[in-house]
A and B are shown apart, each in its own frame.
Chain A
Amino acid sequence: MKLKLRFSWDTSILIILAVVWVAASLTTDNFLSSINVSQIFSNTSEITIMAFGVIFLIILGEIDLSVASILALGSSMLGWSYAHGAPIWLAILICIAVGTLCGFINGWLVTKVGLGSLAVTIGTLALYRGIANGILGTNTINEFPEFWTGFGFDTIGTSFIPQSLPIIILFGIGFGLLLHNTPFGRRTLAIGQSPEAARFAGVNVIKHKIIVFTFTGFMSGVAGVIYTFRFSTAQADNGIGLELLVISACLLGGVSIFGGIGTMWGVIAGVLLAGSVESWLTLREINAQWRTIVTGILLLISVAAPVLINKAKAAKVRAGNKS
Chain B
Amino acid sequence: MAQKGDLLLQMKGVQKRFGGAIALRGTDLSIRAGEIHALLGENGAGKSTMLKILAGVHVNDGGTISLGDKPFTTGSPQASIEQGIAVIYQEPSLFLDLTLAENVFIGRQPMKGVAIDWAQAQNEAARLFAELGVPLDPKRQARGLSIADQQVVEIAKALSMNANIILMDEPTAALSASEVERLMTVMKSLKAANKAVIFVSHRLDEVFAISDYITVMRDGATVSENPVGGTDLQKVIKEMVGRELTELFPKTENKIGDVALEIKDLTNPAYFRNISFTVRHGEIVALAGLVGSGRSEVARAIFGIDKYTTGSVKVNGKDLAKGSPVAAMAEKIALVPEDRRQQGLFMIAGVDRNISMESFDRIKGKIFLNFKKERALTETWREKLSIKYAAPSNPVESLSGGNQQKTVLAKWLATDPDILIVDEPTRGIDVGTKAEVHKLINAAAGEGKAVLMISSELPEVLGMADRIIVMREGHQVAELSRKEATQEKVIAAATTGSKGA
Indicate whether A and B interact: yes
Query: B390 within 8 Å of A by Cβ?
Result: yes
In contact, B368 and A177 (Cβ under 8 angstroms): yes
One of B71-79, B91-99, B168-176, B338-346 at the interface: B338-346
Chain A proximity mask over B328-341: 1 for CB below 8 Å, otherwise 0? 11000001010000
The number of chain B residues with a CB under 8 A from chain A is: 33
| A interface footprint on B301-340 (CB within 8 Å = 1, 0 otherwise) | 0010100000000000000000001101100000101000
Is the contact region of chain A dominated by helix, strand, or loop, or is it mixed?
A: helix
Complex CA distance for A183 and B303, rounded to whole angstroms:
21
Query: Is B349 part of the contact surface with A, judged by Cβ < 8 Å?
Result: yes
On whether the beta carbons of B369 and A194 are closer than 8 Å, the reply is no
- Shortest CB-to-CB span from A120 to chain B, Å, is 25
**Taking the complex as formed, is B379 at the interface, i.e. its CB lies under 8 A from any CB of chain A?**
no
Interface residues of B in 103-161 (CB under 8 A from A): none
Interface size on A, residues (CB 8 A): 25
What is the distance, in angstroms, from B74's C-beta to the closest C-beta of chain A?
28
Contact B342 A194 (CB under 8 A): yes
Do A193 and B343 touch across chains, with their CB atoms under 8 A apart?
Answer: no
B394 within 8 A of A: yes
Residues of A within 8 A of B277 (CB): none
**Do A261 and B326 touch across chains, with their CB atoms under 8 A apart?**
no
Within 8 A of A (CB), among B372-406: 389-390, 393-395, 397-399
Question: Is A112 interfacial (CB-CB < 8 Å)?
Answer: no
Complex Cα gap A196–B341 (Å): 10
Does B360 sit within 8 A of A, measured CB to CB? yes
Partner of A197, one of B303, B346, B367, B368: B346
Chain B contacts of A189 at CB under 8 A?
A: 346, 349
Question: Closest residue to B360 on the A side, CB-wise?
Answer: A183
Do the beta carbons of B369 and A183 come within 8 Å of each other?
yes
A320 surroundings in chain B (CB, below 8 A): 390, 394, 398
* Complex contact B369–A200 (CB within 8 A): no
For window 290-323 of A, CB contacts with B under 8 Å fall at 314, 317-318, 320-321
CA distance A260 to B349 in the complex (A): 9
- Complex CA distance for A261 and B347, rounded to whole angstroms: 12
Complex Cα spacing A200 to B397, Å: 18
Q: How far is the CA of A182 from the CA of B343 in the complex (A)?
A: 22
CB distance from B406 to the nearest CB of A (A): 14
B329 touching A202, Cβ below 8 Å? yes
In the assembled complex, which residues on chain B have CB atoms less than 8 Å from the CB atom of A201? Answer: 325, 357-358
The CA-CA distance from A314 to B350 in the complex, in Å, is 12
Q: Give A320's nearest chain B residue, CB to CB.
A: B390
A289 located at the interface, meaning its Cβ lies under 8 Å from any Cβ of chain B in the complex: no
Q: List 5 A-B contacts (CB under 8 A).
A: A182-B369, A183-B360, A196-B343, A202-B329, A204-B326
What 11 additional pairs, Cβ within 8 angstroms, besides A183-B364, A197-B345, A200-B305?
Answer: A181-B368, A186-B360, A186-B369, A194-B345, A196-B342, A197-B343, A200-B325, A200-B343, A202-B329, A321-B394, A321-B398
Sorted from nearest, which 4 A-B pairs have the closest CB atoms?
A183-B360, A202-B325, A193-B346, A181-B368
